[in-house]
Every structure is written in structure tokens, then in C-alpha cells.
């Protein structure tokens, strides 16, 4: 369950359904984009997978999403990404990793090398933020993180060297930074310019990203080696998905919410 799922739900009636009617594409029929599971059946010509394989990925761009018992995903297409789920990762971890980790990794990539640099992650307790902290720290950066005080221990445990409370501490308390990563879309480039060094990089989740299966495979490898872990805050049943949407809408989601299906 991602923040994007809630945004798509909110947009669908007022924007996506009318656009779909106008331009003839199908708006989302089943919500949710991240999944993990076991291959039940293969389509014609699929040789990369076998029935019984553990897999994970996304259904991004498909009308029928991942909040379901069965998902149908194209193996070779620009819609969604699919890869094998190593035995060292649980199904829950496989379903929680893709969007947060791919988004964080792609945006960190735009900021340049991480080794030896100072990286500030703003909004570090969300799905993207919690992955950005881990990825930057594991790639040799010194991470300063901003989050709510209640999430300070969680964010420290992910590898942040300093954790500051965005509600009571000024941005300037972070000190000079080589990279600012806005993980919640609430910090403008202008607001952080006083702490960014000359030539420093600002990246934000407000920039679009695209899913790349080779990036997902790299991130899965890091996770299977125990170098990163998707932070799972809650596990809910499929029938409780509306509750998860309400939590995302409240802006208080921590890390990831995993939808369990028997
Ligand atoms: N560009 C892309 O391709 C892409 C992909 C995925 C997601 N996104 C976007 O990235 C954003 C983050 O998504 P997400 O799932 O990681 O997390 P999220 O659920 O949107 O964010 C939850 C976290 O945001 C923190 N937060 C709320 N208001 C804040 C504020 N004013 N300042 C700092 N932190 C604040 C909360 O922490 P506290 O409780 O500690 O305050 C909470 O832990 C969303 O807007 C999403 O749409 C973009």
C-alpha cells in the first residue's frame, strides 16, 4: 500500500474516470501497485518464470492492480516490474520494497555519488524516506534526517547519524549539506538553499520517476544481503484497505503498510 495508491483513489473519480471515457483508456479497476506471491500460471511464451516461483513487483499502469488474490502482470512491458523474490526475503518484505526503494534510489542517483557526502533526508519516516536514509547510509553518506519526534528512534535505527524534529527544529540545525532529499514533497529548493553547499543537489519526490527492473533487482539484492530492509509498520487484511487509505490521507503513515491475503 503506497501513498500513490491513496492519491490515485482521490484523483480517480474527478480526473481519471472522465479522462478514461474521453480517451478510451481504462481507469484503475483494482487499486494497489505493489505485490509479492507465487506464480500460479504462465502466459504463452513466458520462459523466465515457472509455476511455483516466488515473485514480487508492481502493477503500475495496469487497470487491475495488486490489492487482490491474483494479479496478472506482463513479463516484458513498460507496465509494472517483476522479479524473483529470494528465499531470504519474506513475502511481506517483497511487497513492501518496490515503490519506496525504487523511488529513493532513482532520486539519490540524480544527486550524484553518495560516498563521503552529507545527505539530509526530509520526511524520513515514510516509505520513500526510510529507504532513502538506508540507501544513502549504506552507500557511505553521513545522513541527517528530519521526521516527527515520535519516529526519531525508528529513523536512527535505519542509519541516520542525526535525527531532528521538523516540528520544533529549524532546517539550519542540520548544518551544511551536499544533498537534500525531500522525501515527502513538502520542502522547496528555495527553503533549503541556506544549508545546501555550492554545487549541492536538491531532489524531491515531486519529480517524476520511472520503474526500472534492473534497479529493482539491485535493491532486492541489497535487501537479500540484509543491507536494506523495508520498514513495515502495519499489516492489515484486504478488507481493511480503506483504513490504510485513511491513514495515508492523515499523513501519519510510517514506512509501509502491508496488505495480507490468505
Ligand atoms: N516521484 C515518485 O515517483 C513517487 C513515488 C512514490 C511516492 N511519491 C510521493 O512521495 C511522498 C511520500 O510517500 P511515502 O509513501 O514515502 O510517505 P507518506 O505516507 O506520504 O508520508 C508519511 C510520512 O510523512 C511524514 N510527514 C508528514 N507531514 C510532514 C511534514 N510536513 N514534514 C515532514 N514530514 C512529514 C510523516 O512523518 P511524521 O509522522 O514523523 O510527521 C509520515 O511518516 C508522497 O507524496 C508520494 O506521493 C512519489
Dump pLDDT digits (tens) for 106-130: 999 999 999 999 999 999 999 999 9
Which range has the worst mean pLDDT, 11-25, 31-45, 98-112, 245-259?
11-25
Residues 107, 92 within the same domain: no
CATH number at residue 164: 3.40.50.720
Q: Write down the pLDDT at residue 226.
A: 97
pLDDT category of residue 10 using cuts at 50, 70 and 90:
confident
Q: In Å, how far are 49, 83, 140, 203 from 185, measured between CA atoms?
A: 37, 29, 24, 10
Tell me which of 11, 128, 191, 207 to substitute to probe ligand 1's pocket, judged by most ligand atoms within 8 Å of the beta carbon: 128
CA dist 181 and 189 (Å) reads 10
Residue 192 domain boundaries: 99-204
Q: What is the pLDDT of residues 234-252, one digit of tens each?
A: 999 999 999 999 999 999 8
Please give the distance, rounded to the nearest whole angstrom, from the Cα atom of residue 126 to the centre of ligand 1: 5
Say if 239 falls within a structural domain.
yes
CA dist 56 and 94 (Å) reads 6
Say if 212 falls within a structural domain.
no
The candidate with the shortest Cα–Cα distance to 39, out of 48, 31, 30, is 48
Residues 115, 169 within the same domain: yes
Q: Write down the pLDDT at residue 70.
A: 97
Residues 103, 200 within the same domain: yes
b (16+ CB within 10 A) / e for 167-202: eeeebeebeebbbbbbbbeebeeeebeebbeeebbb
**How large is the average pLDDT for residues 96-105?**
98
Say if 219 falls within a structural domain.
no
pTM attached to this predicted model: 0.95
Tell me which of 251, 255, 257 to substitute to probe ligand 1's pocket, judged by most ligand atoms within 8 Å of the beta carbon: 251
Burial of 22 (0-12, 13-18, 19+ CB in 10 A): exposed
Residues 83, 112 within the same domain: no
Q: Write down the pLDDT at residue 17.
A: 67
**How large is the average pLDDT for residues 72-83?**
91
Residues 171, 124 within the same domain: yes
Give the dihedral sign, CA 140/146/149/154: negative
Please give the distance, rounded to the nearest whole angstrom, from the Cα atom of residue 193 to the centre of ligand 1: 21
Q: Write down the pLDDT at residue 13.
A: 67
b (16+ CB within 10 A) / e for 142-165: bbbbbbbeebbebbbebbbeebbe
Residues 37, 19 within the same domain: yes
Q: What is the pLDDT of residues 135-175, one digit of tens each?
A: 999 999 999 999 999 999 999 999 999 999 999 999 999 99
Amino acid at each position: 500500500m503506497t501513498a500513490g495508491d491513496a492519491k490515485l483513489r482521490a484523483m480517480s473519480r474527478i480526473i481519471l474516470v472522465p479522462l478514461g471515457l474521453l480517451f478510451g483508456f481504462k481507469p484503475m479497476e483494482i487499486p494497489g501497485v505493489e505485490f509479492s506471491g507465487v506464480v500460479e500460471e504462465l502466459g504463452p511464451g513466458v520462459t523466465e518464470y515457472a509455476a511455483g516461483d516466488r515473485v514480487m513487483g508492481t502493477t503500475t499502469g495496469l487497470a487491475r492492480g495488486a490489492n487482490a488474490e491474483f494479479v496478472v502482470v506482463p513479463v516484458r512491458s513498460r507496465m509494472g516490474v517483476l522479479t524473483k523474490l529470494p528465499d531470504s526475503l519474506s513475502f511481506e518484505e517483497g511487497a513492501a520494497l518496490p515503490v519506496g526503494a525504487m523511488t529513493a534510489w532513482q532520486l539519490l542517483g540524480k544527486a550524484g555519488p553518495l560516498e563521503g557526502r552529507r545527505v539530509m533526508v526530509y520526511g524520513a519516516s515514510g516509505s520513500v524516506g526510510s529507504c532513502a536514509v538506508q540507501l544513502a547510509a549504506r552507500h557511505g553518506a553521513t545522513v541527517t534526517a528530519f521526521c516527527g519526534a515520535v519516529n526519531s528512534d525508528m529513523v536512527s535505527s535505519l542509519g541516520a547519524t542525526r535525527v531532528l524534529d521538523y516540528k520544533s527544529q529549524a532546517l539550519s540545525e542540520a548544518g551544511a549539506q551536499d544533498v537534500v532529499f525531500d522525501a515527502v514533497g513538502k520542502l522547496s529548493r528555495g527553503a533549503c538553499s541556506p544549508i545546501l553547499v555550492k554545487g549541492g543537489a536538491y531532489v524531491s519526490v515531486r519529480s517524476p520517476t520511472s520503474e526500472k527492473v534492473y534497479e529493482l533487482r539491485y535493491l532486492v539484492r541489497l535487501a537479500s544481503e540484509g543491507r536494506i530492509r523495508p520498514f513495515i509498520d502495519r499489516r492489515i487484511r484486504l478488507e481493511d484497505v480503506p483504513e490504510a487509505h485513511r491513514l495515508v490521507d492523515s499523513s501519519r503513515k510510517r514506512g509501509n503498510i502491508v496488505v495480507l491475503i490468505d
